[in-house]
Amino acid sequence: MNRYVIIGNGVAAAACIEGIRSTDPAGSIDVVSAERHDVYCRPLISYYLEGKTDLSRMRYRSQDFYDSANCSVHRGRKAVRIRKDAQEIELDDGSVLPYTALCLATGSSPFVPPFEGLDTVENRFSFLTLDDALALEKALTPESRVLIVGAGLIGLKCAEGIRARVAQVTVCDLADRVLSSILDAESAGIVQRHLEEHGIRFCLKDSAVLFEHDRAQTKSGASIPFDVLVLAVGVRANTSLLRDIGGETDRGILVDSCMRTSVCGIWAAGDCAQGYDLSTGTKRVLALLPNAVMQGYTAGVSMAGSSSSFDKGIPMNAIGFFGLHIMTAGVYEGDLYEEKDERSLKRLYTKDDLLKGFILVGRQERAGIYTSMIREKTPLSSLDFEAMRHMATTAAFSSEARRKKFGGVV
Amino acid sequence: MSMKRIYVKEEWCLSCHLCEYNCAFANSGMTDMALALKGKPLYPRIHIEGNESVTYAVSCRHCEDPLCVRCCIAGALFKEDGMIRVNQDKCVGCLTCVLVCPYGALAPNENGVMQKCELCMTNSAGEPACVKGCPNRAIVYEDRG
């Protein structure tokens, strides 16, 4: 009988369990969960603080998920090492779990730069886990002045989530714009103005470098007083378990399209994994929930001995702030088609007869058609692209392509 | 799985948009169509797409391997007996499903929460209202396995 062990208990792990059970109803599954919670929707922690969801609705799966999948969950436990020759892992309480197939779904950890004086700050938080959000919530008062270091996805969602609960939210970042990993300067400008209209203050191109209790000093010498500090500078994939046994790692754990690592009997999935990015043709960490689910499921099926592969990962984001929606996908290179006004923007990038990427701010209608064209590498010459630049529509596809999409079971 | 789904015959579609009205009414929970729809913006779960030469209705394909369900960050979209459903109580309106649906079949309701075609199995119509009301039988409800 197979013995499956999954290290981690986020959505990649949940999908891995489902992948295993789709193929093997009998093998044992052990889940090692550093967090004490059942699997929850991690991207919803800001919605929790905003009051748009609650702990019960944040569950990713039903309460009987682990029981019905016949899993043992080791809560509050960490894996400390893999003994690859013995095919077992050792936990922090000294116990040992043997495996025939192991999945690393260890996620990522906040990256905290060595800021001077950080130790002097009492109210200091990360914003990656539910426990981070619950701890931050306890520290917030209507009088709080909150400083968030990092104007990326995590920092800005945090800012939105707490804005109505505190007196002041300031976001600082070394980058010259918000969401610098997914937006260009112009689209970032629209988003920043929108956030500012909703009371978020920014200090860009000039991040905090020094902390002294309740005061941050920026690179340019400005001083920002605060009561609560949130560090959202970035994350790093948790790769050490595999790296320590000589497995191949880069920014993440390197995996093939079946999510196998370089070490026999070990798979990896989710934010810790570095798999194929179809949009660049290289292996990249795509720390996004959809990617984690696809990778986790693929890993599970593969671990259980069936063939499964996932090679259609691309960077893609749907994110909104105070009612302004942003959607992005792929890479921004090639010829540009653009529509814009003061509050919205659409940019489509085409190259070599392919749609390579897009940025939509304040526009989202039927964006999935564009996304699928990137994922499926649909030749633009096979459709009337001009007719779908203003508004995505399957009417621009050939009648044969449309028959395939709409004529049968897909 | 083998089940009845909604299919369109684009050569028969008149682009009359009645399917959109019938859909919005069936899902309004009201008994009077005029009271439910007149003078209000329409948020149907089916919509007409097309160009000068072709028109057709688009609604959820109830995919075998639904990207929307896999990508939902709130665990709000789910598959039940082959049908893709949404738990609106869990949806936070992030629109990731709109970002990934290859058919452009999904759009949020007036409050920014996702709604979708549930084949009129979860409202009082009991059978797809778009199909029943299509004057030219351009929308059909069939098992094409």
Domain extent for B136: 1-59+123-145
Mean pLDDT of the A253-271 span: 98
Pairing of strands A273-277, A324-330: unpaired
Rounded CA Rg of chain A: 23
Q: Cα–Cα–Cα angle for A43, A45, A51, nearest 5°?
A: 125
Distances in Å between the Cα of A210 and the Cα atoms of A159, A218, A220, A225 are 21, 7, 11, 12
Looking up residue A167, the CATH number of its domain turns out to be: 3.50.50.60
Query: For chain A, how many residues are written?
Result: 410
Mean pLDDT over each residue of chain A, to the nearest integer: 97
Tell if the CB–CB gap between B92 and A44 is shorter than 8 Å. Answer: yes
- Pairwise CB contact (< 8 Å): B98 & A395: no
What HEC string does A341-379 produce? CCCCEEEEEEECCEEEEEEEECCCCCHHHHHHHHHCCCC
Contact A330, A373 (CB under 8 A): no
A368, A395, A396 member nearest B101 (Cβ)? A368
Digit-coded pLDDT (tens) for B45-54? 999 999 999 9
Domain residues for A276?
3-109+236-303
| Beta strand A145-149 pairing with A228-231 | parallel
Which candidate from A297, A367, A395 shows the least CB-CB separation from B98? A367
Per residue in B116-139, pLDDT (tens digit) is 999 999 998 889 999 999 999 999
Chain B CB contacts of A52 under 8 Å are: 92
Tokens of B15: 């682009």
B42 and B71 fall within a common domain: no
Mean pLDDT of all residues in A288-298: 97
Query: Which tokens belong to B133?
Result: 């009301």
Structure tokens at A4: 């499956």
Assign B145 a pLDDT band (cuts: 50, 70, 90).
Answer: confident
Query: Is the overall model pTM greater than 0.90, yes or no?
Result: yes
| CATH classification of the domain holding B17 | 3.30.70.20
Clarify whether residues B70 and B102 are in a common domain. yes
Interface test with A, best of B7, B10, B73 (most A CBs within 10 A): B73
Residues A100, A120: contact at Cβ < 8 Å? no
Q: How far is A387 from chain B (nearest CA, A)?
A: 9
| Pair A362, A380: CB distance under 8 Å | no
Residues A257, A354, single domain; the answer is no
Same domain, B87 and B48: no
Nearest chain A residue to B98 by CA distance is A368
Residues of A whose CB is below 8 A from B75? 41, 59-61
- pLDDT classification of B2: cutoffs 50, 70, 90: confident
Question: How many other C-beta atoms can be found within 10 angstroms of the C-beta atom of residue A197?
Answer: 10
Burial class (CB in 10 A: 0-12, 13-18, 19+), A193: middle
Mutation target among A45, A47, A50, A57 for the B interface, most CBs of B within 10 A: A57
pLDDT at A364: 82
Answer whether B102 touches A (CB < 8 Å). yes
Q: What is the domain count for chain B?
A: 2
Over the stretch B50-101, which tens digit does the pLDDT of each residue have?
A: 999 999 999 999 999 999 999 999 999 999 999 999 999 999 999 999 999 9
| Residue A192 pLDDT greater than 90, yes or no | yes
